[in-house]
Amino acid sequence: MDKLIIRGGNRLSGTIPISGAKNAALTLIPCALLTDEPVTLRNLPRLADIDGFQHLMNQFGVNTAIQGTRPEDFGRTMRLEGTRITSTVAPYDLVRKMRASILVLGPMLARSGEATVSMPGGCAIGNRPIDLHLKALEAFGAEIELTQGYVKAIAPDGGLPGGDFDFPVVSVGATENALMAAVLANGTSRLTGAAREPEIVDLCNLLTAMGAEIEGIGTSDVTVHGVKRLNGATYKVMPDRIEAGSYACAAAITGGEVRLEGANAADMISTLSALRNIGLEIKEDAKGVNVAANGPLKPVDLTTAPFPGLATDMQAQLMSLLCKAEGTSVLKETIFENRFMHVPELTRMGADISTQGRTAVVKGPAQLTGAEVMATDLRASMSLIIAALAAEGETQVRRIYHLDRGYERLEEKLQLVGADIERVDD
Ligand code: UD1
């Protein structure tokens, strides 16, 4: 298994190209199940999760072809053609590695009248139920059975009627599943309390390009008028706001200055506002975002929340950055329980962090030193890399398969701006 070796202390400076968004890609790919025409997705990141999802689509009989497979290509294009669905089952072996596989449930049910999906695994960040995915589909008229670790959803003869669902908790995945099911329903569906993350807007934009009728895109009150059939489309995946935010923290902790080429500031509103409060200079334009650390880092109090609030996927990276701020910061995690698994590892690197329930208190500035650390989930892994970039000496990060699930060519991008980082065979 590979590990990353980082020698801290280099000031990052230069331009980092931002990839297509993993979390958008993972909901755009299953849209190919909704039509017998080809769906072509551009700007897909080169990531293990995307490859995993491609295999899952092949399992259903969807043919896939990829362009841009040369090592020097950033952004690949995938053509997906589901002329005929040959299986409606997502098996355990494929689903266990990737929680997002549950996102095939809605579109498969809408297209084929039934879908069977193994219960998902994925990042170990707390107990991540799928009850809302199932309740929304039930509200649209599906019958749900749970047997032997599988969820089976069945539509009435003649297809899903559609219906109304009010989300008691904002859920990105459940909103996506519900939208993909509702677009082919016989009637109109209304979702209230829906998630409105930029990735949901990206999904709605693709569905609209395919002929779906959706009102209230980007709001928490969305109405979908079901249509008889959808056509194919060609669509460019949005830039990855979490990747961009992560590199902003990486540059900031080294006192550096980077341009995040291709990042969309409007999608990063809370992260950029947090970074400004920490004392960074942020400049936005139509093609990217510039981040510069020109003075001491200031402590801040941050609370994660559904969009437009601060993304939970940025919490760990911001925590690393705040280890270097001059004073005490408080971070509250409201989305997932058990999402402080990076704290013990950061502490081993010299951070002064205490947690109580869902609150972490970070005392800075800490003198960080290199250590052997272990990545526990995707964003936690990135927080260790950020800390390592500012630490004295060498840090070894193991279990980096988590990183390969979410950061396209991480070490190459960091090398581009002057980081001393290499991947070695363990
Ligand atoms: C998605 C993102 C993930 C991000 C998260 C929150 C993808 C592939 N992943 O995950 O990176 O951290 O949004 O922004 O897009 N919940 C329930 N019942 C459900 C579903 C969710 O109670 O059926 C709860 C969860 O436990 C959690 C909260 O809702 O407390 C939010 O989870 P959700 O938005 O669904 O996260 P994901 O879609 O899994």
Atom of ligand 1 nearest to the CA of 22: 8
The residue among 399, 382, 414, 404 whose CA lies nearest residue 50 is 404
Measured in angstroms, how far is the CA atom of residue 27 from the centroid of ligand 1?
13
Buried-exposed string 88-118: b where 16+ CB fall within 10 A, e elsewhere:
bbbebebbebbbbbbbbbbbbbbbebebbbb
Assess contact for 364 and 299: CB atoms under 8 A: yes
The model's pTM: 0.97
Q: Which of 105, 133, 172 to mutate to test the pocket of ligand 1 (most atoms within 8 A of CB)?
A: 172
Position 160 pLDDT exceeds 90 = yes
Q: What would the pLDDT profile of 167-214 be if each residue is shown by its tens digit?
A: 999 999 999 999 999 999 999 999 999 999 999 999 999 999 999 999
Atom of ligand 1 nearest to the CA of 100: 8
Active site residue 123: yes
As for ligand 1, residues whose beta carbon falls within 6 Å of it are 23, 26, 100, 128-133, 169, 171-174, 195, 311-313, 335-336
Q: Which of 119, 128, 270 to mutate to test the pocket of ligand 1 (most atoms within 8 A of CB)?
A: 128
Share of the chain above pLDDT 90, in %: 88
Q: Residue 1: in which H helix or E strand, if any?
A: none
- Distance between CA atoms of residues 120 and 98, nearest Å: 7
Q: Which of 167, 171, 242 to mutate to test the pocket of ligand 1 (most atoms within 8 A of CB)?
A: 171
Assess contact for 292 and 257: CB atoms under 8 A: yes
Measured in angstroms, how far is the CA atom of residue 73 from the centroid of ligand 1?
31
Measured in angstroms, how far is the CA atom of residue 263 from the centroid of ligand 1?
23
Q: What would the pLDDT profile of 39-66 be if each residue is shown by its tens digit?
A: 999 999 999 889 999 999 999 999 999 9
Quick one: pLDDT band at residue 96, thresholds 50, 70, 90? Answer: confident
- Distance between CA atoms of residues 182 and 328, nearest Å: 47
Atom of ligand 1 nearest to the CA of 197: 14
Q: What would the pLDDT profile of 366-421 be if each residue is shown by its tens digit?
A: 999 999 998 788 999 999 999 999 999 999 999 888 898 899 999 999 999 999 99
Long-range contacts of 211-215 (CB under 8 A, 24+ apart): 212/183, 213/183, 214/179, 214/183
- Distance between CA atoms of residues 34 and 108, nearest Å: 7
Quick one: pLDDT band at residue 125, thresholds 50, 70, 90? Answer: very low
Q: What would the pLDDT profile of 336-361 be if each residue is shown by its tens digit?
A: 988 999 999 999 999 999 999 999 99
Q: Residue 14: in which H helix or E strand, if any?
A: strand 13-17
Catalytic site residue from 31, 123, 204, 323: 123
Hey, whose CA ends up nearest to atom 8 of ligand 1?
A: 23
User: Which pLDDT score, from 0 to 100, does residue 380 have?
Assistant: 92
User: Which pLDDT score, from 0 to 100, does residue 426 have?
Assistant: 79
The residue among 46, 80, 85 whose CA lies nearest residue 63 is 80
Atom of ligand 1 nearest to the CA of 134: 23
